[in-house]
Amino acid sequence: MTTANMDKKILKKLEALEKKEGALAGPLDFYRKLLSIQLDTKRHTGKPRFSLSPETINERINAGRPLLEFDKLPVDWSLFEDTFKKIGALFASYSRDGAGTDWKQLSAGSSLKEAARAWFEGAPPSFLMAESNANTTLWEHVIQAAFNPFLVAYRDSIYSQVNQEYWRRSYCPVCGGSPDFAFLDKERGSRYLVCSRCDTEWIFQRLACPFCGTQNQSSLTYFSDDKGLYRLYVCDECQCYLKAIDLRQTEDEILMPLERFFTLDLDIQAQEKGYKPVAKARDRVGAEEGREDQYKKANINQ
Ligand SMILES: [Zn+2]
Ligand SMILES: [Zn+2]
């Protein structure tokens, strides 16, 4: 499904839900507002002039290097800044922590581009903090949501050329981000991971933890609901969890980005059991050659 079609279907589904229930629940209402800002940005971005040769794509995929590199992205930074401010204001209006955040100061001059780079390349959040009085998690959420329309546009122009079978790594083949959702496909029950940053879907082995890589079956388990539609994968080695949906258990059309918001209960359950969503610092590990050491250092300093 193209991204534009997906967006339209999501908005339609939210509209139908609103009609049925009188009003949208808080998180869904928030998501609809976020989506409309992101759609506006997508419209302005249009079809980006971004491509990679088949050779480059093969080379990077074989070497385990994600396709997008920050310095090669044709980002319209004034459009990014505009998107960032709108999304910052939306987050601020929905979160206690964001209310006093000075997003204006943050977006002044070139610092926003550098902050986006730090986020994209997985630099320690302390860098971001020096630029702003916002709390780190909120900051990352806002940057991520503002960058998403751009990443998705670049992804759409290259991803069809990627051979899934040659990747099978725990981070996104397009942007290097970590997965925050998964699904088992209808045909064979193969497990696909979904990127938290650019929504790319890629195939990954079922019997391994996508975060620490363990294949020790006594450490890996999942919980599921009565219908067997949703799963919560947990790993006792790294204490991380991953939400998933089993597409073999439903005839409905599933809109993956929306599922994140339909399953917020699962996040609460997982965290009550002592598991955490994947550590941010582990994002992008191995995304670029030689960067692994840098991450380790960053972790120690935190
Ligand atoms: Zn990605
Ligand atoms: Zn693990």
Out of 4-13, 18-27, 277-286, least confident range: 277-286
Q: In this structure, are residues 280 and 217 in contact, taking their beta carbons and an 8 Å threshold?
A: no
Structure confidence by residue, pLDDT tens digits, 235-260: 999 999 999 999 999 999 999 999 99
Q: Where are the domains of the chain?
A: 22-51+68-161, 168-301
DSSP-derived pairing of the beta strands 201-203 and 220-224: unpaired
Architecture of domain 168-301: Alpha-Beta Complex (3.90)
Residue 94 has pLDDT above 60, yes or no: yes
Structure confidence by residue, pLDDT tens digits, 98-150: 555 666 555 555 578 888 998 899 876 555 555 555 567 788 889 999 999 99
Ligand 1 centre and the CA of 143: distance in Å? 14
pLDDT at 125: 57
Ligand 2 centre and the CA of 87: distance in Å? 32
Q: Which ligand is nearest to the CA of 200?
A: 1
Ligand 1 centre and the CA of 21: distance in Å? 33
Structure confidence by residue, pLDDT tens digits, 28-55: 999 999 999 999 999 998 888 788 999 9
pLDDT at 83: 96
Cβ-proximal residues to 158 (8 Å cutoff; 6+ apart), any chain: 50, 51, 52, 57, 67, 174
* Percentage of residues of the chain with pLDDT beyond 70: 83
Q: Which ligand is nearest to the CA of 155?
A: 1
pLDDT at 101: 62
Ligand 1 centre and the CA of 158: distance in Å? 12
Q: pTM for this structure?
A: 0.87
**Rounded CA gap, 72 and 94, in Å?**
34
Query: Contacts by 292-299 with C-beta closer than 8 Å and gap 24+?
Result: 294/123, 295/122, 298/123, 298/124, 299/124
Between 255 and 300, the more confident residue is 255
Instruction: Supply the mean pLDDT for the chain.
Output: 85
Neighbours of ion ligand 1 (CB under 5 A): 172, 174-175, 177, 195, 197-198, 200
Residue 296 has pLDDT above 70, yes or no: no
pLDDT at 128: 55
